[in-house]
Structure 1
Amino acid sequence: MEDVITEAAPPSRLLEEDLNNFTPPSKPLPSPFLLSPHTQQQQPLKPNLLIIAISSPSLSLFQSFLNSQTLTASLILPELPLSHSDNTIDIHSISSTILLAAVRCPVPDNRAYAIADALLNNQIRPDAVVILDSIQPMNHRGLLSSDEAVAFKLESSAERKKAVGEKLLGGLEYYPSGSVVDGLGAAILGRCQILNLRASLCVSWPHFDSSVVLLLKDLIQPLAEFDFGLNRDEALKFGRNRDHVFQSHLYI
């Protein structure tokens, strides 16, 4: 006699897609929204430049600007509890013409387009956008060394038409052919393409390294001659701590 506990169940007579018909669809997540309780600035915000800091080195670079005095608005993700301060994407006014969006929370890929749409809508209308993200090793076609800081760029069509001297990130080479970018950075660049905005996406490696902080400083400083107040000794506080033995030999 068969053991009903240990014997495998017989195959279903229904196809896998038919079984899904009996499962109620999950409720759609509410859309992210922008909240501006911190200042009395009149909407929409129209900066000359919107910088979106996603990578850890870029957040470290702008750390001195991230305070309650510069906070202008917050992008709320309704599915995350507000009890944690890093669960919002905060918009800071770091000069009279430049806004900075600090993305401290990890963004799931299935929410990237919703966040990009909420960030670049009628409430924020920049003339140009710079996105600072990291290279994901599995998406890069080539060798990545943990001992060498590298950065590349991708551009929207509106930015690519500009002359070399007018580029947002003129000192960078283009991301190697065959490599890809995904996640929030790619979603924001795609949104800029739809809106016909000038936009440049910078992806850097390693994820955690003082040399990347200094590299980004040299790239961003010409845009508005920022005074980051950051020297090499201070950048070393944000030194290599996770990528010290990693090298990518993966080709796609």
Structure 2
Amino acid sequence: MEDVLTENPPPSRFFQEDLNNFVPPLESLPSPFIIFSNPKPELPFRPSLLIIAISSPSLYVFHNLPSKTLLGSLIMPEVPFSGNTMEPSLEDKSCNIYSLSSTDDKNLILLVSVQLPVSPERSNLVSRFLIGQDIIPERVIILDSIQSRNFRGRLSPDETLAAKLETSAEKKAITHTGLVNLDYFPSGSVIDGLSASLLSWCQLKNIRGTLVITWPEFGPSVIRFVGALLKKIVPSLDVASVNKDLERNSSRTGLKKDTWLDSDLYT
């Protein structure tokens, strides 16, 4: 007589995919959406330049620019509003869209400050909302930081580095204002997340796109570099207030390094 306790069990009558029928499907997240300050804006916006800040230094520069107008905000339903302030703050988990000129201006320039976490699974969807639907730019510049774990080589915390990646349309363009002297991102290093998705979307849409990667992730030296770079790209940009705020914070007694960047967003 067979021992039913020690004998190998018979093969399952179900295929592996059939077993998933007994598992409740994962709830799909609601789609992101954009809320505009003007209830009835003339869409789509067609800026000559769209600058997207993801890195901490670029967010700091954007936050301290005096002459910008809030156009709207990208809402991620999975990101709670708790802890956000009434006025824009570096500690907010938000994604605000600003303009540097009138929306009727032919040389409209838009700024997007991405201060909320975007998971890899949501990066492509967010990229589509920022580029190609309500906003159709002629040129896109994305500002992000080098992640040391993805960089092939040694990164010194005391040395400021910058590199770029470009779409085919940008490489073919005649003008590369402010970005000519930047080296290309070294082969063997990796870019992932939202910045990679945004650049890929630009390539797919045949839009002039450049991803600028900087190192270190924090610090006054890289903030000054980003400010100077933006000034070359947009000569009318007022970065004097950024430098003044930087000097005021760094000269305060008892202020530890990068305290102005020390918030939940950057931990």
Q: Does 1:89 align with 2:95?
A: yes
Match of 2:202 in 1: 192
- Structure 2 SS opposite 1:144: coil
Q: Which amino acid aligns with 1:55?
A: S
Residue 227 of structure 1 deviates from its aligned partner by 1.2
For residues 173 and 223 of structure 1, what CA distance do their matches in structure 2 show? 16
Residue 45 of structure 1 deviates from its aligned partner by 1.0
- Structure 2 SS opposite 1:166: coil
Match of 1:3 in 2: none
Matches within 5 A, 1:98-177: 98-163=109-174, 165-167=175-177, 169-177=179-187
Gaps of 5+ in 2: 1-7, 85-91, 103-107, 251-255, 260-267
Mean Cα deviation higher: 10-19 or 200-209: 10-19
Residue 139 of structure 1 deviates from its aligned partner by 0.8
For residues 135 and 11 of structure 1, what CA distance do their matches in structure 2 show? 52
Is the contact between residue 58 and residue 143 of structure 2 (CA under 8 Å) also seen in structure 1?
yes
- Structure 1 SS opposite 2:29: coil
Q: State the identity as a percent.
A: 43
- Structure 1 SS opposite 2:186: coil
Residue 27 of structure 1 deviates from its aligned partner by 1.6
Aligned residues: 231
TM-score, structure 2 normalization? 0.77
For residues 197 and 84 of structure 1, what CA distance do their matches in structure 2 show? 36
Residue 81 of structure 1 deviates from its aligned partner by 2.4
Q: Does 1:181 align with 2:181?
A: no
Is the contact between residue 137 and residue 144 of structure 1 (CA under 8 Å) also seen in structure 2?
yes
For residues 242 and 119 of structure 2, what CA distance do their matches in structure 1 show? 34
Residue 173 of structure 1 deviates from its aligned partner by 0.5
Mean Cα deviation higher: 219-228 or 128-137: 219-228
Q: Which amino acid aligns with 1:193?
A: Q
Q: Does 1:48 align with 2:29?
A: no
Deviations 1:212-251 (A, max 9, x none): 0111112111222111124656335378549xxxxxxxxx
Q: Which amino acid aligns with 2:145?
A: S
Q: Does 1:57 align with 2:57?
A: yes
Gaps of 5+ in 1: 1-9, 243-252
Is the contact between residue 97 and residue 111 of structure 2 (CA under 8 Å) also seen in structure 1?
yes
For residues 16 and 57 of structure 1, what CA distance do their matches in structure 2 show? 48
Mean Cα deviation higher: 88-97 or 193-202: 88-97
For residues 143 and 205 of structure 2, what CA distance do their matches in structure 1 show? 19
- Structure 2 SS opposite 1:102: strand
Indicate how the Cα distance of structure 1 residues 12 and 208 shifts in structure 2: closer, same or farther if over 3 A, else same: farther
- Structure 2 SS opposite 1:61: helix
For residues 80 and 232 of structure 1, what CA distance do their matches in structure 2 show? 32
For residues 192 and 204 of structure 1, what CA distance do their matches in structure 2 show? 20
Residue 88 of structure 1 deviates from its aligned partner by 3.0
